[in-house]
Structure 1
Amino acid sequence: MRGTTVLPGEGNSGWPGEEGMPTHRLEVPMPNTLPFAIGTFDTIGPMSRAAFPHRHTFHEIVHVTGGTGSHVVDLARYVLRPPNLCFIAPGQVHHWENATGLEGHVILFTDDFLLDHPADREALRGPGRGCWLELRDEAADRTARLVADLDGEYRAGAEGFPSVLRALLHVLVVRAARLPARHPAAAPPAPRTRPGSVAADFMALLSAPEDPLWSVRGCARQLGVSESYLSETVKASTGRTPGELIRQARMHEAKRLLLRTELSVRQVAGRVGFADPAYFCRFFRRETGASPGDFRHGHGDIHHDHRLESIARARPSA
């Protein structure tokens, strides 16, 4: 990963004061580049402690071991009482308020990094979305060791390190789900409608283990809403359209099947809703830059310069 950038046609360059909500994504230029990064607030860069509301298309886990201030996630304000652990799902709007002396680590990864543990995708988007945990005693010590192990594996890049990183991240997610989340200092007012619930139900449809729906029309019909309402609510909640999220979910499932099963390309195409394998191959190449066969055989050849030096972007000149 080389850094963060705005999604084509969405948001802006990532700085406030420009048209559209700042939207960041991890830029993965090659199909086999590791979609994961971990570092301190300093090594990740200024965007890791941005004081303006923004969202991104990747997952972020923040382990705060020092500092003062507040973290606002979807209008809910959490006062720092280190050590804390915070989970920010793709599409959530967040920023730091009056934060000083931040210490700890930031973990960034895309859905593609969860191929070995697909249930973690739902766990990271489920009831714990935006959860803010206060770590005490044994939980604090275990979390600190896990984060230190993740950081060490990532920096060393030794043989087999991607699988170790995935295993450690899985343990972190499962253990965090066992801990009670802290209530925000000031909860947002109750919504007059339930757009957030519709968006959550939509995401659950895309994560269904059996017969996921691969069309906006099918999802809208299943949820009992119009296509336009579904588009509006999902866009407001996640910053992305239902069509974009469906395309992402199909790609994620296709990658999982290619890497974790012996299914043929034709069978994989059918599983993700493509009746024409040739069209699936064109779609896959357009999205990843590689054919399904090349992706299956070449995955795991991680580039040597896998580490993300910084996600800081140069502020545009006046």
Structure 2
Amino acid sequence: MRRLDFREKHPTGGWRVYPAAEPVLRDNGLSCRGAGEQHGALRHTSERRLATHGLVLVTEGRGRYVDDAHPAGIEVVAPAVIWLFPGVRHGYGPDGGGWREHWVLFEGVATRALESFGAWERTEPVCAAAPELAERVAPVFAHLRRVLAVPGGRGAMLAAGLSQHLIAVVAECAPAAPTWQPPGVLESLTATALVQMPVEHRARALGLTEAQLRAAVLGATGLTPHAFVLATRLERAQSLLARTAAGVAEVARQVGYDDPAYFSRLFHRRVGMSPSAFREQESRRAHPPRP
């Protein structure tokens, strides 16, 4: 597709909506505080501080971003993502050729969890994105515009979900890290997760050091090898409880725990209910009462 010439074809324009604050969504998850789309020779923001998080998706054109940590600026070349953080003084905008941007403002306690799982890095406010970013985000913003057109709780709830979906799309459109990944690491951990084995032995079986194994698993999943093994075991345990009649002690044994009491405590802590309660819940879903 030919690069758009904003100076000739697209005067500055677009749309923007700023919904009312929703404390319930903010205090329990995520709340959308604004969204829009702009294109053309846009004015540069300067010396701005936001009270919320912001996500700017540049899908056409190029320009520059600056903040206190990057006074010389960072070049922005579409497709690219700009992350904005509460209280951080910043500025950004296109060069003389203009650009196209989509943006969303969001806040809430869920931002802490999203950041901890690597949705963004504060030290990297500008990130390159895969070429499919534009086609993937355009329908989401069209939907966001529709749900924000009518004030009210339902629209706010839908906008919160769409905002989180946009964050997920951006994560999927991030270019793959250029770090070396040993082949078969996750497959090997998954295959042996139900076997009691020290991490050093798992690493040795793959011809790696513990540090190399940790780096490989963290890079691929955001989890340590121990956490990955635990998650795999609990997923298997839930499947066995839901799909078989095996007792809790037998399920514990099959997923690598010789002590059923320890397994039950661990399951309750991680899943939020006992193995027996989980089975009862899932068996009811699988076999609804007859009318």
Q: Do Structure 1 and Structure 2 share a fold, with TM-score over 0.5?
A: no
Q: Which fold has the larger relative contact order, with Cα–Cα distance below 8 Å and residues 6 or more apart in sequence?
A: 1
* TM-score, normalised relative to structure 2: 0.41
